[in-house]
């Protein structure tokens, strides 16, 4: 099985958080794949039933949301002309899903979240930059209301070793990122369920054994992009979530070696933070 990204490599020192930023070619800002229909249907369901848990906008972020609506519309029309169309103020997805371009920030953010698989977060153009809005339908064991209005230090407080390694560089990056230099990075974790909407911490299942663990664990990757919006100067953070069964990931021997090496170099507090408390040792011994 092909993977769009692969976050592991053979390691010779302990794992620690890293910036891992790479220049983003803006033509690749948004990624659409065969899971589009399923993920967008899931978003529609989440927005209908749990909007308060996934969508928030501070008043100061309203112009940035409306700027993004316009940027995203233009981007999708130019890079995916067979999928998106626009006429008479109506934006259409796959010719049957229609959205009125809105001046209301909540409506606009809700709509554009259903145009693509990406989640959106808006960081203010302040020092330090703060999370002032977003639509996060696919969070990995956190939720937007608990992080709203916080700066990067407080947002990342639960991440082991974040403060000692990349906290300062992350704040500086958010303050200095330029419109012309968008970037992207990858985050990964392992879950013991395929559910994509995981807004709360979870104890994890207790029935995993060495013979069934690869059947019930999943690699979850987040392809994140960061760009400064040209008009409002806010920083737009997008998260595109990919989930793959671990048994498919390790069907390739090289990938299995790299995953095992990464897990062998993962500090226990990082494994626990990532939600692997119950199956970390079992998984390492099963690879």
Which residues of the shown chain bind ligand HEM in the complex (CB under 6 A)? Answer: 17, 19, 21, 121, 123, 131, 141-142, 147, 155-156, 158-159, 166, 170, 173, 187, 189, 237, 274
Residue 158 beta carbon to ligand HEM: minimum distance, rounded to whole angstroms: 4
CA dihedral for 43, 45, 48, 53, sign (positive or negative): negative
Instruction: Using the minimum distance from each CB to ligand HEM, give the nearer residue, 79 or 173.
Output: 173
Structure tokens at 50: 């749990």
Closer residue to ligand HEM (CB): 19 or 41: 19
Question: Minimum distance between the CB of residue 173 and ligand HEM, rounded to whole angstroms?
Answer: 5
The least distance separating ligand HEM from the CB of residue 43, rounded to whole angstroms, comes to: 17
CB of 40 or CB of 239, closer to ligand HEM = 239
Quick one: 22 or 205, whose CB is closer to ligand HEM? 22
Residue 198 has φ and ψ, to the nearest 5°, of -130, 75
Tell me the closest approach of the beta carbon of residue 274 to ligand HEM, in angstroms: 5
Distance in Å, CB of 170 to ligand HEM, minimum: 5
Length of the chain: 287
Which is nearer to ligand HEM, 94 or 264 (by Cβ)? 264
Name the nearest CA neighbour of 68 among 95, 25, 101: 101
Shortest reach from residue 255's CB to ligand HEM, in Å: 19
- Shortest distance, CB of residue 248 to ligand HEM, whole angstroms? 21
First to last CA, the chain: 18
Closer to ligand HEM by CB, 172 or 251: give it: 172
Closer residue to ligand HEM in complex, CB, 156/284:
156
């Amino acid at each position: 099985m092909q993977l769009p990204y692969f976050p592991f490599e053979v390691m010779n020192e302990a794992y620690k958080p890293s910036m891992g930023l790479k220049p983003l070619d803006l033509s690749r800002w948004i990624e659409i794949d065969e899971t589009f229909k399923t993920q967008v249907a899931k978003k529609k369901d989440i927005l209908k039933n749990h909007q308060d848990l996934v969508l928030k906008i501070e008043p100061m972020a309203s112009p940035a949301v409306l700027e993004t609506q316009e940027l995203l519309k233009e981007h999708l029309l130019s890079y995916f002309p067979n999928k998106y169309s626009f006429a008479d103020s109506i934006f259409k997805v796959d010719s049957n899903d229609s959205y009125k371009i809105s001046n209301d920030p909540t409506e606009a953010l809700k709509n554009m979240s259903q145009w693509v698989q990406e989640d959106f977060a808006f960081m203010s153009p302040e020092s330090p930059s703060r999370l002032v809005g977003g639509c996060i339908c696919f969070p990995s064991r956190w939720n937007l209301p608990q992080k709203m209005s916080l700066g990067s230090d407080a947002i990342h407080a639960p991440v082991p070793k974040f403060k000692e390694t990349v906290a300062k560089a992350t704040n500086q990056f958010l303050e200095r990122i330029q419109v012309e230099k968008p970037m992207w990075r990858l985050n990964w974790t392992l879950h013991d369920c395929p559910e994509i909407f995981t807004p709360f911490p979870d104890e994890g299942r207790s029935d995993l054994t060495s013979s069934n663990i690869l059947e019930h664990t999943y690699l979850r990757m987040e392809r994140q992009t960061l760009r400064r919006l040209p008009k409002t100067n806010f920083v737009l953070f997008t998260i595109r979530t990919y989930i793959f069964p671990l048994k498919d990931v390790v069907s390739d021997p090289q990938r299995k070696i790299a995953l095992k090496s990464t897990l062998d170099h993962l500090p226990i507090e990082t494994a626990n933070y990532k939600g692997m408390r119950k199956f970390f040792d079992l998984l390492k011994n099963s690879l």
